[in-house]
Amino acid sequence: MSALGELSRLRRESTSRGPVTARGKADERASWVFLAPWIAGLLAVTIVPMVASLWLSFTDYNLLQAPGWIGLDNYQRLFDDPRLQNALWVTFRYVIVSVPLQLALSLGLAVLLNQGMRGLALYRSAFYLPSLLGGSVAIAVLWRQMFGHDGLVNQVLGFAGIEGRGWISDPSTALGTIMTLNVWTFGAPMIIFLAGLRQIPDMYYEAASVDGASRLRRFRSITLPLLTPIIFFNLVLQVIGAFQAFTDAFVISGGDGGPSDSTMFYSLYLYQQGFKNFDMGYAAAMAWLLLALVAVFTAINFAVSKYWVFYDD
Amino acid sequence: MSTPQLRPRRWTALAAAAAATTLVLAACGGGDSAEGDDGSITLRVGWYGGDPLHAALEETLDRYEQDNPGVTIEVSRAAFADYFDRLATETAGRSGPDVTRMSMSYFADYAGRGALQALDEYVGETIVTDGLDTDVQDSGVLNDEYFGVPQSVISHALLTDPELLATLGAEAPAPDWTWEQYADWAKGIGQANPGFYGSSDMGGQLQAFEVWVRQHGSELFSDDGTGLAFDQSVLEDWWTYWQSMRDESGAPPPDITAESDTFETSVLTQGLAPATYVFVQQISFFQALNEHTLELQPMPVTDGGDPGQFLKALDFWSVSSTSEHPDEAAELIDYLVNDPQAVEAIGLTLGVPPSQEARDVLAADPATPEGKAIAYVESLGDDRVGPPPGPWPRGYGELLALFTKLSEDIAFGATDIGAASEQFFAEADRVLEGF
């Protein structure tokens, strides 16, 4: 990569200048000054709260009284809480179904938009729009309306003579509507895919065309392999994001993860334990379990990536 | 050498770092200097509710500020669930509002954990409570200490839509009906009118179930608030009753019920069923959404059973234990519950006032929803209303949600009534923590 090469060249030049001068020291101090706001922020909103959360996870903390040390009790409870296991199951299904669907859709549309059609900017914006709105409360409210008993979806189905149902109020379909909402917000990965597609040198395609490769063949043998680093990047990001899904389920279920806990996502249950049931210690333990799970899944992702991600350099 | 130059720079670096840190910490801390130079003070008042209540209370508090130049009032208002998220966080940060509206749902959680100030020294002195109805006198008492001044008197009720009943070709339910008569009537409506139902599904509502439990000779919770006091068969009968209501069109199928958990989407507002369970003051909220004139009547009874309903205060004015101005907070509370102008401005936005005097001040027109609520509360006699139960124990909120969830599990066929009842009793043991 040329940018990296440039960087290392600069670095070599700067270190070859001999012993550290007073000027260099002053620069170093200046750099700390400029970093100070960021470091203060990192400490105040990330490091300190994380340490506090780790400590709280070993306590019985009800928010209103001082926390009391209870050792591993909260972590033991994680293993025998049926609602937690249900929440994990709901979240796993959500990750496993909606992430691949979203990636496939965003890749498909990115390839389509990359054909050099007219009005590309317009389409790109239009397809990106749901991503900007999708995580918002307004869209979740809209979703609730659309998939409700008298909602738009049932009215359309009604025209076709199909009797609908309360999509968000039936435990067998409620999770599906939230997955759909997530898949619909494909804009962010799509933009990243588009950027990736632009970086594939035209000469590969030209050479393949000369050899008589079909469109499909070119996609499979050139686009896909060269895009694997981007797919991998999107996959990692989306999996991490999906594990933390909260807003959609919160709004669509009215905050209770219902009906019948069918939309009780992990982070929603965590929030309920912490703020509704005054069990902040247990909620903190849940947060650390989530962190561990996300770390494990990301590690697996990286381990498996060796077998399918192709780096062109 | 450049040492002399470096000094000021190091200084700048430190200053900048310090400034940045201070900024961040200040943003976290949220300053509340509670006392001005001239001895004036700032009181923070917080409450949950809807727009009519916000308007009424702000008007009242503005007037209080004018009458008390030494007091500045800041308000913190939100819808119920949001308010309690905020209150929990503020209380944890020791910056809870001086005066807060407190719900029975969280009363024991806050009062039992030292988040509220005991008001015993003020009650009867600064805060006059002589006129309170007997039934609500002790509603705000926990472990012999007085933590909450009642805002309203409440009881359960059946809210009906007579015009919808007429359309469906059904008579109105009679006030002395038993649950069996109510079920026969509701199923009759559902079977004669496909797509309509006689009643909302109360199966998942712990507060309606409490009426049933008391009619069967028990209270919901044991005296120490650490467990359930009734027999498991009472719960199984309740869920069987509602299963049969759903099976025979007396109550809507579970997916409709799951959607009907707000005033706007309730089966009564949607015109799907002519009767639903409410707390009495909710007639105002329902009436605002309905073109038909709505009516109140008592809950069904159990043949040969005890009176199931009760009169009680379920919302209070309380003072945070971290308040620096408890005296002034107590004075404000007295103003809110006793001053005729305040009583008038607040009207029924907080519910039916818990004293005869306040109800007389309002002299509400009996044709309005407010008038009906007052008349209903005053009409309930000893045959309907038993002695009020104690406070709801810590863990009540979690149990409330669990009750709804288990009822949904049954209705959607994910579990059976026996297993759900067993799970409710097992979880109650873990969740309930007394007072």
Q: Reply yes or no on whether the pLDDT at B98 is more than 80.
A: yes
Per-residue pLDDT reduced to its tens digit, A286-305: 999 999 999 999 999 999 99
pLDDT confidence of residue A255: 82
- Interface pTM, i.e. ipTM: 0.81
Percent of chain A with pLDDT over 90: 50
CB–CB contacts below 8 A, A to B: 116
Place of tokens 């709280």: A56
**What total number of domains does chain B contain?**
2
B259/A30 CB distance under 8 A:
no
Q: Reply yes or no on whether the pLDDT at A201 is more than 70.
A: yes
Instruction: Assign 3-class secondary structure to chain A.
Output: CHHHHHHHHHHHHHHCCCCCCHHHHHHHHHHHHHHHHHHHHHHHHHHHHHHHHHHHCCEECCCCCCCEECCCHHHHHHCCCHHHHHHHHHHHHHHHHHHHHHHHHHHHHHHHHCCCCCCHHHHHHHHHHHHHHHCCHHHHHHHHHHCCCCCHHHHHHHHCCCCCCCCCCCCCCHHHHHHHHHHHCCHHHHHHHHHHHHCCCHHHHHHHHHCCCCHHHHHHHHHHHHHHHHHHHHHHHHHHHHHCCCHHHHHHCCCCCCCCCCCCCHHHHHHHHHHHCCCHHHHHHHHHHHHHHHHHHHHHHHHHHHHHCCCCC
**Residue A26 falls inside a structural domain:** no
The answer on B410 and B283 residing in a single domain is yes
Per-residue pLDDT reduced to its tens digit, A157-190: 888 888 777 888 889 899 999 999 889 888 889 9
Sequence-ordered list of residues with C-beta below 8 angstroms from that of B15, at least 6 positions apart, any chain: none
B261/A254 CB distance under 8 A:
yes
Q: Reply yes or no on whether the pLDDT at B128 is more than 70.
A: yes
**Residue A257 falls inside a structural domain:** yes
Percent of chain B with pLDDT over 70: 91
Q: At what angle do helices B396-411 and B417-431 cross, to 10 degrees?
A: 170
CATH of the domain at A102: 1.10.3720.10
B81/A256 CB distance under 8 A:
no
CATH of the domain at B85: 3.40.190.10
The answer on B347 and B299 residing in a single domain is no
**Residue B20 falls inside a structural domain:** no
Contacting B residues, span 58-117, partner chain A, CB-CB under 8 Å: 81, 84-85, 88-89, 91-92, 109-110, 113-115
Per-residue pLDDT reduced to its tens digit, B304-337: 899 999 999 989 999 999 999 999 999 999 999 9
Average pLDDT over residues A49-74: 93
Q: What is the DSSP letter of B295?
A: E
pLDDT confidence of residue B25: 45
Report the first-to-last Cα separation within chain A, whole angstroms: 7
B1 contact residues in A (CB cutoff 8 A): 22
**Residue B203 falls inside a structural domain:** yes
Q: Report the C-alpha gap between A128 and A234 in whole angstroms.
A: 15
User: Measured between CB atoms, which of A22, A169, A276 is closest to B259?
Assistant: A169
Identify the bridge partners of residue B141 per DSSP, sorted by sequence position: B146
B24/A44 CB distance under 8 A:
yes
* Closest C-alpha among A111, A163, A167 to residue A144: A167
A261/B2 CB distance under 8 A:
no
B272 contact residues in A (CB cutoff 8 A): none
Q: Coil, strand, or helix at residue B129?
A: coil
B256 contact residues in A (CB cutoff 8 A): 149, 166, 169
Label the pairing between strands B71-78 and B41-48. Answer: parallel
The answer on B331 and B267 residing in a single domain is no
Q: Reply yes or no on whether the pLDDT at B208 is more than 70.
A: yes
A165 in B contact zone (CB under 8 Å) = yes
A259/B12 CB distance under 8 A:
no
B255/A149 CB distance under 8 A:
yes
The answer on B142 and B85 residing in a single domain is yes
pLDDT confidence of residue B37: 58
Assigned token pair, B267: 């089966």
**Residue A234 falls inside a structural domain:** yes
The answer on B409 and B261 residing in a single domain is yes
The answer on B267 and B134 residing in a single domain is no
Q: Report the C-alpha gap between B102 and B116 in whole angstroms.
A: 10
The answer on B271 and B184 residing in a single domain is yes
pLDDT confidence of residue B24: 44
A275 in B contact zone (CB under 8 Å) = yes
Sign of the alpha-carbon torsion through A266, A269, A273, A274: positive
The answer on B248 and B337 residing in a single domain is no
* Closest C-alpha among B254, B309, B262, B256 to residue B286: B262
**Structural domain span for residue B343:** 41-152+314-370
Which has the higher per-residue pLDDT, B196 or A8? B196
What would you report as the CA-atom Rg of chain A, rounded to the nearest whole angstrom?
25
Among A40-54, B201-215, B346-360, name the one with the lowest average pLDDT.
B346-360
Residue of chain A nearest B27, judged by CA positions = A44
The answer on B192 and B67 residing in a single domain is no
The answer on B164 and B136 residing in a single domain is no
Label the pairing between strands B275-279 and A59-60. Answer: unpaired
B258 contact residues in A (CB cutoff 8 A): 166, 169-170, 258-260
Among A149-158, B11-20, B341-350, name the one with the lowest average pLDDT.
B11-20
Q: Which amino acid is at B283?
A: I
Place of tokens 């697996």: A300
A68 in B contact zone (CB under 8 Å) = no
pLDDT confidence of residue A147: 86
**Residue A61 falls inside a structural domain:** no
pLDDT confidence of residue B22: 47
Cα-based torsion angle of the residue sequence B84, B90, B94, B95 in order, rounded to the nearest 10 degrees: -110
**Structural domain span for residue A283:** 81-308
**Residue B342 falls inside a structural domain:** yes
Q: Reply yes or no on whether the pLDDT at B429 is more than 80.
A: yes
Q: Reply yes or no on whether the pLDDT at B264 is more than 90.
A: no
**What total number of domains does chain A contain?**
1
Largest alpha-carbon pair distance within chain A? 83
B115/A149 CB distance under 8 A:
no
The answer on B301 and B207 residing in a single domain is yes
Per-residue pLDDT reduced to its tens digit, B3-46: 334 344 444 444 444 554 444 444 444 444 445 556 789 999 99
Q: Which amino acid is at A55?
A: W
Q: Report the C-alpha gap between B115 and A65 in whole angstroms.
A: 8
Per-residue pLDDT reduced to its tens digit, A35-51: 999 999 999 999 999 99
The answer on B286 and B183 residing in a single domain is yes
Per-residue pLDDT reduced to its tens digit, B367-399: 999 999 999 999 998 889 999 998 999 989 889
Assigned token pair, A298: 């990301």
Residues B396, B105 contacting (CB under 8 angstroms)? yes
**Residue A292 falls inside a structural domain:** yes
